[in-house]
């Protein structure tokens, strides 16, 4: 009973205190609603933001928040737009070619029919043009019959194709002596020592085209000394071919001799034969 009486004495004042605190906490700005109207709730325009404040505990170090990572954005420059440059197509030239018009074509040493034929360009064969003359009416090609040579075909008897304007002008060769021979009447003359013992020779000179040839004759003793010589003479070739010269007869004593036919123009060419005069 005593304990219950004490509890009642303690509880009654405590309850009264709680009621007073609760009454003080009630809002005082409440408006008494007018009968028939609905009270309007008033809210603050900006809601307060709660800030967490770390609580310091004695003896316990305050935790330091980790540093905030800072990111720096590097601007990327815009990619330059390439400028398109129009490309002019390069003209491709076609090689100059030549083929016979209908029949086989003579391929000559130079640019005229007075020059020797070196080969033939047959129908159906088309070959590259290597050069032309200043008049551009002859075409230089590789000799179909001898790849180591070049020769010329005339424009009227061939058909050209390709870029003829690009064909270079090349030098036209000039004619020259291609061969010299001597025909002796006798290689052994039977005669009388001390008396006239005649012999004779014919010289043959060949060229590959029109040209003037200068030459002379010489007679040599066996010992190597010159016995006789003629003056320079000329042979005029109107076309390629062979011309002859007969110096006449020549008389000698018994012995051995050498006869020479020497060409000096347009090039140096020499032919020789040996003969002897013996007593019967």
Q: What is the pLDDT along the chain (280 residues), one digit of tens a residue?
A: 444 444 455 555 565 565 545 444 444 444 444 444 444 444 444 444 444 444 454 554 555 555 555 555 566 666 666 676 776 666 678 999 999 999 999 999 999 999 999 999 999 999 999 999 999 999 999 999 999 999 999 999 999 999 999 999 999 999 999 999 999 999 999 999 988 999 999 999 999 999 999 999 999 998 899 999 999 999 999 999 999 999 999 999 999 999 999 999 999 999 999 999 999 8
Report the C-alpha gap between 154 and 100 in whole angstroms.
10
Name which of 138, 135, 79, 77 is nearest 110 in CA terms: 138
Q: Beginning with the edge strand found earlier in the chain, give each strand of the sheet holding 97-100 in spatial order.
A: 127-128, 97-100, 158-161
| The CA-based dihedral angle spanning residues 137, 142, 146, 147, taken in that order and rounded to the nearest 10 degrees | 170
Residue 280: the pLDDT is: 84
State the pairing for strand pair 188-190/269-278.
parallel
Q: Got the DSSP string for 9-43?
A: HHHHHHHHHHHHHHHHHS-S----PPTT--PPP--
Domains of the chain: 97-166 (2.30.30.40), 177-278 (2.60.40.3880)
Entry pTM = 0.67
pLDDT at 1: 44
Q: Is the dihedral of CA 111, 114, 117, 121 positive or negative?
A: positive
pLDDT for 195 = 84
Residue 10's pLDDT is: 52
Residue found under tokens 């440059």: 85
* CA angle, 157 then 161 then 166, to 5°: 110
């Amino acid at each position: 009973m005593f304990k219950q009486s004490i509890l009642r004495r303690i509880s009654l004042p405590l309850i009264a205190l709680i009621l007073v605190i609760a009454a003080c906490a009630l809002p005082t700005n409440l408006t008494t609603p007018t009968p028939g109207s609905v009270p309007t709730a008033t809210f603050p325009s900006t809601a307060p933001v709660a800030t967490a404040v770390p609580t310091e505990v004695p003896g316990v170090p305050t935790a330091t928040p980790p540093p905030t990572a800072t990111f720096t954005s590097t601007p990327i420059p815009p990619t330059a737009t390439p400028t398109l440059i129009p490309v002019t197509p390069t003209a491709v030239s076609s090689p100059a070619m030549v083929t016979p018009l209908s029949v086989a074509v003579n391929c000559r040493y130079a640019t005229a029919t007075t020059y020797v034929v070196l080969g033939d360009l047959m129908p159906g064969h088309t070959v590259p043009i290597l050069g032309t003359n200043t008049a551009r009416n002859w075409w230089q090609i590789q000799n179909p019959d001898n790849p180591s040579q070049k020769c010329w075909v005339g424009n009227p008897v061939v058909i050209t194709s390709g870029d003829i304007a690009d064909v270079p002008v090349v030098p036209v060769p000039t004619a020259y002596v291609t061969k010299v021979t001597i025909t002796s009447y006798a290689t052994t003359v039977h005669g009388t020592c001390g008396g006239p013992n005649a012999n004779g020779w014919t010289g043959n000179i060949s060229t590959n085209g029109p040209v003037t040839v200068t030459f002379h004759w010489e007679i040599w003793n066996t010992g190597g000394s010159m016995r006789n010589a003629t003056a320079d003479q000329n042979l005029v070739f109107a076309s390629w071919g062979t011309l002859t010269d007969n110096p006449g007869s020549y008389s000698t004593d018994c012995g051995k001799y050498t006869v020479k036919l020497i060409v000096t123009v347009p090039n140096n060419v020499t032919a020789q034969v040996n003969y002897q005069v013996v007593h019967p």
